[in-house]
Chain A
C-alpha cells in the first residue's frame, strides 16, 4: 500500500525526471525558463509542506521558507525578461 510519504516521494522523483529531460533539450526559451522556475517553486513547496511538515507548523516560519523558494524563481524571471537593465544596474562605473 502506498502511503502519503510514498506519494510525495514519487511526485518529487517524477518531477526530477521531467526537469532532467528538459535539460537534455539544450534550448534556451521562455517556455523552458517558466517551466524550470515553476518546478523549483513546486518541488520546494512540497519539501517545505510535507517533508518538513510546515503546513501544520508555525505559519510565520513556513512563510519565510516559502518566500525563499518563490523569490528565487521570481528573480530568475525578472533577469530573463530585463537582463540588459539588470546588467546596467549591477555595473560599477
Chain B
C-alpha cells in the first residue's frame, strides 16, 4: 500500500536500499508478534461465530458502549505509536536524549489506555453492561481485556528500552532492542484497529 509517491521513503527509514529485505527488530520479537496475531485471529473467529449465531445481540450491543472511550483509546495508541516511530528515527542518528523523550511520551500516552479502560468499565458496570449482560458483552470483555494485557506487556517493554536508552545502550549501530519494542507496540495498534470497529462501530 503506497499512500505517497513512489520516491517517498517509509516514515522512519534513512535509505530504502540499505534496509531492503531486512528483518526489523530481532527474530525473537517476531516469534512473539506472530503468536499474538494467531491468538487474536482465533479470538476474532470466536467473535464472528458468536455474531453469526446471535445477530440481534451484535446489532444492539454497541449502542450501550461508549464510542468516545473506544475512539480515545485508538487516538492514544496511534499517537503513542507515532512517538515510537520518532524514537527509532532519533536513535538512528544517535540522538539518544531525543529518543528517550519520545519513548517517555509514548509510555505516558500508552498509560492513558488502562486509565480510559478503567473509567469505561466503571461506566459500563454502573449501566448494567457487565460480562453476563449478554453474549456480545462477554465477547467484548474477553477480547478487550485480553488486548489490555498485551498492551501492559508492551508498556513494560517500552519502560525497559527507556531505561536502556537513558543508559546509552543504543546507538545508530545497535538499536534492535528499541526497534523490537516499537514493533510489538505497533502490533498492539493493529489488533486494536480491528477490535475498535468490531465492538463500537459494526452492527
Contact = CB atoms under 8 A, between A and B. Distances in A.
Interface string B64-107: 00011011001100110110111001000000000000000000
B202 A36 contact: yes
Interface stretch (B4-12, B117-125, B136-144): B4-12
B26 to A, nearest CB: 13
Nearest to B63: A26
Contacts of A61: 23, 30
Interface bin, chain B: 35 or more
A50 B11 contact: yes
Interface residues of A, number: 59
Contacts of B85: 5, 8, 50-51
Contact of B79 (A9, A28, A69): A9
B3 A46 contact: yes
B13 A56 contact: yes
A92 B75 CA distance: 41
B41 interface: yes
Interface stretch (B152-160, B162-170, B187-195): B187-195
Contact of A47 (B9, B44, B189): B189
Contacts of A40: 193-194, 197
6 contacts: A8-B85, A9-B78, A9-B79, A13-B78, A20-B70, A36-B197
Interface of B: 1-4, 8-13, 16, 19-24, 30, 34, 37, 41, 44-45, 48-49, 51-53, 55, 59, 62-63, 67-68, 70-71, 74-75, 78-79, 81-82, 84-86, 89, 183, 186-187, 189-190, 193-194, 196-197, 200-203
